[in-house]
């Protein structure tokens, strides 16, 4: 390989990692906006005069997940652009897994946000009628099952695509710092969802993805998504464990 070809490949890998950083930063911004949308009173007003949804439900169902999933898709396409990888079968199989995960995430958001709104507005705890029981089940259980399955499929497929299409150059210290910083934003979102609520299936889901990302980091080395996911899920789990152990 001559110096000019090596220089072109190095420049190409530099552009690739910068695009990965940008797409992961979008996910960090979405996590911040989701927290503001969920925890503040800024979006409690109604979307339309007929009060069919609040802005908090509308944003959680359509605006923010759509931005996140488009960024995930662009990240998937970026990983698949590595010309040195010959992984057509992996690309097809994991692409199908990714699409199934996206569909399940979309179905979960559609089911959860509407029933969450109806639950909060029309179904107080003392109402044990059939209608409110159905609304509660869709809000608190069924939509969560769909979300967790979709969440695992999307994130695991991206992690495994990183293995099938490894980043062709060594990561710089700057790259690793940026990956860790973006991972910390996701860890904060995980902590906020696990530490202050009753822990259930969500803990198992995060633990599975943390174990997978740490295993891939150990087996495949410092690949961008292995660093990002291992930091995000591991820090989120450890922070939650410490918080719970302190009896907060």
Instruction: Give the pLDDT of residue 86.
Output: 56
d(CA 144, CA 138): 8
Tokens of 175: 């790259």
Cβ atoms of residues 119 and 143 within 8 Å: no
pLDDT tens per residue across span 190-206: 998 887 777 778 888 99
Q: Which residues form the domain of 71?
A: 3-245
Residue 39's pLDDT band, with cuts at 50, 70 and 90, is confident
Residues 7-38 pLDDT 10s: 445 555 678 899 999 999 999 999 999 989 98
Residue 83 pLDDT grade (very low, low, confident, very high; cuts 50, 70, 90): low
pLDDT in tens, 188-247: 999 988 877 777 788 889 999 999 999 999 998 999 999 999 999 999 999 988 887 787
Cα 136 to chain centroid distance, Å, stands at 25
Whole-structure pTM value: 0.87
Alpha-carbon dihedral 23, 149, 137, 35, rounded to 10 degrees: -20
Q: What is the mean pLDDT of residues 34-60?
A: 93
pLDDT tens digits, one per residue of 61-81: 999 999 999 999 999 999 888
Number of domains in the chain: 1
Name which of 203, 199, 200 is nearest 248 in CA terms: 199
């Amino acid at each position: 390989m001559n110096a000019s070809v090596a220089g072109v490949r190095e420049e190409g890998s530099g552009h690739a990692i910068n695009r990965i950083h940008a797409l992961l930063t979008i996910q960090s911004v979405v996590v911040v906006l989701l927290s503001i949308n969920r925890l503040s009173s800024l979006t409690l007003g109604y979307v339309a005069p007929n009060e069919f949804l609040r802005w908090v439900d509308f944003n959680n169902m359509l605006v923010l997940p759509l931005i996140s999933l488009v960024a995930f898709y662009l990240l998937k396409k970026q990983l698949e652009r590595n010309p040195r990888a010959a992984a057509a079968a992996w690309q097809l199989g994991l692409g199908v897994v990714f699409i199934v995960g996206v569909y399940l995430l979309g179905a979960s958001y559609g089911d959860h946000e509407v029933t969450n709104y109806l639950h909060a507005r029309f179904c107080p705890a003392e109402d044990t009628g059939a209608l409110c029981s159905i609304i509660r089940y869709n809000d608190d259980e069924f939509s969560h099952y769909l979300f967790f399955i979709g969440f695992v499929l999307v994130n695991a497929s991206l992690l495994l695509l990183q293995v099938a299409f490894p980043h062709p150059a060594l990561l710089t210290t700057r790259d690793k710092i940026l990956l860790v910083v973006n991972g910390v934003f996701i860890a904060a979102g995980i902590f906020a969802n696990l530490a202050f609520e009753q822990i259930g299936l969500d803990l198992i889901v995060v633990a599975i993805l943390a174990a997978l990302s740490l295993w891939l980091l150990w087996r495949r080395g410092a690949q961008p998504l292995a660093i990002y996911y291992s930091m995000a899920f591991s820090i989120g789990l450890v922070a939650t464990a410490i918080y719970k152990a302190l009896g907060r």
